[in-house]
Structure 1
Amino acid sequence: MKGNVIILLLGILFLITGCQTANNEEKTIYVAAASDLYHALTEIGLEFMEETDIKVEFTFGSTGLLTQQIQEGAPFDLFASAHESYVDKLVEVGAIIPNSKNYYAIGRIVIMGESPGRNLDEQLLLDPEIRTITIANPEHAPYGKAAKEALEAWGIWEEVEPKLVYAENIRQAYQYVESGNADIGIIALALMTNTDYTYELIDESNHQPIVQALGITKQTEMEEESRLFADFMLSARGQEILMKYGFDLP
């Protein structure tokens, strides 16, 4: 009899432990995020987890490639894109819940490099001593598209095009400059926190606004938790963190 009670208690303990494990797994959301958000969302994710006990796992990459992955069924719950047009595209194909689209930030770009005593401007990009300039690939990265627009607005696109080194995403472009694989980069302001590199903000009149938006995927089984995270990004605290990393408010 005593042995049966012990077995019963062990069984109950096993069931409780199993339920707790399942609950913990249910409280993780998977977010596909544009790479310009690397620093800001890492901080936002930590604060959100402390406040809600919901864990956030991020996959950072170029907005265009993440859009393709979501369209093909990649298991993400929420998409934080670097441009609203990509969320709109996913809404059109039925991959994003339409009423979940929200604007959360406007991005800015800078010229980044090491040029002591010299201005980081369009004239520097033409200097023969500047042999390589990196931008994110404008075909699938909104920050790369903005960089190309700025170069065109300055009337120097054709002259600097032979110097261009395309990165898969804007964070990789930053790393190209950091590693010495490029002399100059046109980079997201949001990635310049705690850097030793000099940089100069590019006037936003030189490119189309980088209006960033998020949306929740149709396939998610964590819609409630994903909406909580979206709400946190849009809250006063979330917006404060985004502004700290150089984003403008939408």
Structure 2
Amino acid sequence: MKKIILCSILVLGMLFAKEANIAAAANLQYVLQEISKEFLLTHKNDKLNISYSSSGKAYAQISQSAPVDLFVSADEEFPQKLYMEKKTLDKPQIYAQGVLVLWSANPKIKIHTLEDLDQKDIFHIAIPNPELAPYGRAAKEVLQKTKLYDLVKSKLINASSISQAHQFVSSGNAEVGFGALSLIDKKDKKISYIIVDKSFYAPINQALVLTNYGKNNSLAKEFKEFILSTKAKKIFQKYGYIVNE
């Protein structure tokens, strides 16, 4: 009898389990894993399907009616475009501000200033595609404002997303690269990095929005609110993001 009751409870749990599809910016890979894990502690049978890519790529997919409930972008611009296209009911909300870094995984190269990019032993500089990735847009702005762009443009390697830019650097395919503080392993003694002066680029205000596809998805709505919660803000801060208290 106990086994029957237990099986019945499990079946009911599966029947009432909820699921949500999340399109997230690539810089969120580590922080969102921790946030979603914390969220699912109170949603035992529910499932979050999170895919990571450049915000521009995610925007294009949602704009073409991809089955995405919640868009967690690396900027405000792409979610705002969806709102203007009437692909969302509500305006985007900012959840955190990203921090741009310049870094190297090559122990022979130490990054101290932006001017280090002009070193003779630096042949490749990874940068997320500025057309698709907000961090890449910020990196290009930095190079232009500091008058370094013309000096190093022949060294630039465009990556499809910020995670690919990090892969180029970590694999040695690029000696240095622009990336997100949230993706830097601060315990790795072999890497060197600097936080880029925020006065050189427009704030990377990262926003999220529920799509029309997800307007009736209660799990997506709850996860959105959790990302905006005080508990999630503390996790964002842990990974180097700037949040409003």
- Say yes or no: TM over 0.5: yes
Match among 2, 12, 36 for residue 45 of structure 1: 36
Provide the secondary structure at the position in 1 that maps to 2:173.
coil
Classify 1:162/1:232 alpha carbon distance in 2 versus 1 (closer, same or farther; 3 Å): same
Any stretches of 5+ residues in structure 1 without a counterpart? Answer: 1-9
Deviation of 1:208 (Å): 0.6
Aligned to 2:73: 81
* Partner Cα distance (1:17, 1:70) in 2: 34
Alignment partner of 1:128 is 2:104? no
Provide the secondary structure at the position in 2 that maps to 1:138.
coil
Aligned to 1:4: none
Match among 215, 238, 244 for residue 238 of structure 2: 244
What is the 5 A alignment of 1:2-151?
Answer: 20-24=13-17, 27-53=18-44, 54-99=46-91, 101-113=92-104, 114=106, 118-151=110-143
Deviation of 1:98 (Å): 1.5
Any stretches of 5+ residues in structure 2 without a counterpart? Answer: none
What is the number of equivalent residue pairs in this alignment?
236
Classify 1:168/1:34 alpha carbon distance in 2 versus 1 (closer, same or farther; 3 Å): same
Deviation of 1:75 (Å): 0.7
Deviation of 1:205 (Å): 0.4
Normalised by the length of structure 2, the TM-score is: 0.90
Aligned to 1:215: 209
Cα root mean square deviation, aligned: 2.1
Percent identity, please. 34
Match among 157, 161, 183 for residue 153 of structure 2: 161
Identify, as 1 or 2, the structure richer in helix: 1
Alignment partner of 1:231 is 2:225? yes
The 8 Å contact of residues 82 and 142 in structure 1, kept in 2 or not, is answered as yes
Q: Deviations over 1:20-77 (max 9, x none)?
A: 54423xx111110000000000000111011223321110000001000001011111
The 8 Å contact of residues 109 and 143 in structure 1, kept in 2 or not, is answered as yes
Provide the secondary structure at the position in 2 that maps to 1:75.
coil
The 8 Å contact of residues 193 and 245 in structure 1, kept in 2 or not, is answered as no
Provide the secondary structure at the position in 2 that maps to 1:57.
strand
The 8 Å contact of residues 111 and 120 in structure 1, kept in 2 or not, is answered as no
Aligned to 1:6: none
Letter in 2 for 1:154: T
Alignment partner of 1:188 is 2:177? no
The 8 Å contact of residues 125 and 160 in structure 1, kept in 2 or not, is answered as yes
Classify 1:44/1:152 alpha carbon distance in 2 versus 1 (closer, same or farther; 3 Å): same
Classify 1:88/1:221 alpha carbon distance in 2 versus 1 (closer, same or farther; 3 Å): closer
* Partner Cα distance (1:186, 1:118) in 2: 14
Find the structure with the greater CA-based Rg. 1
User: Does 35-44 or 213-222 show the bigger shift?
Assistant: 213-222
Classify 1:192/1:222 alpha carbon distance in 2 versus 1 (closer, same or farther; 3 Å): farther
The 8 Å contact of residues 153 and 206 in structure 1, kept in 2 or not, is answered as yes
Classify 1:218/1:117 alpha carbon distance in 2 versus 1 (closer, same or farther; 3 Å): closer
Classify 1:17/1:243 alpha carbon distance in 2 versus 1 (closer, same or farther; 3 Å): closer
* Partner Cα distance (1:117, 1:137) in 2: 24
User: Does 66-75 or 221-230 show the bigger shift?
Assistant: 221-230
Normalised by the length of structure 1, the TM-score is: 0.88
Letter in 1 for 2:228: L
Deviation of 1:192 (Å): 0.6
Letter in 2 for 1:23: F
Letter in 2 for 1:181: N
Provide the secondary structure at the position in 1 that maps to 2:158.
strand
Provide the secondary structure at the position in 2 that maps to 1:51.
coil
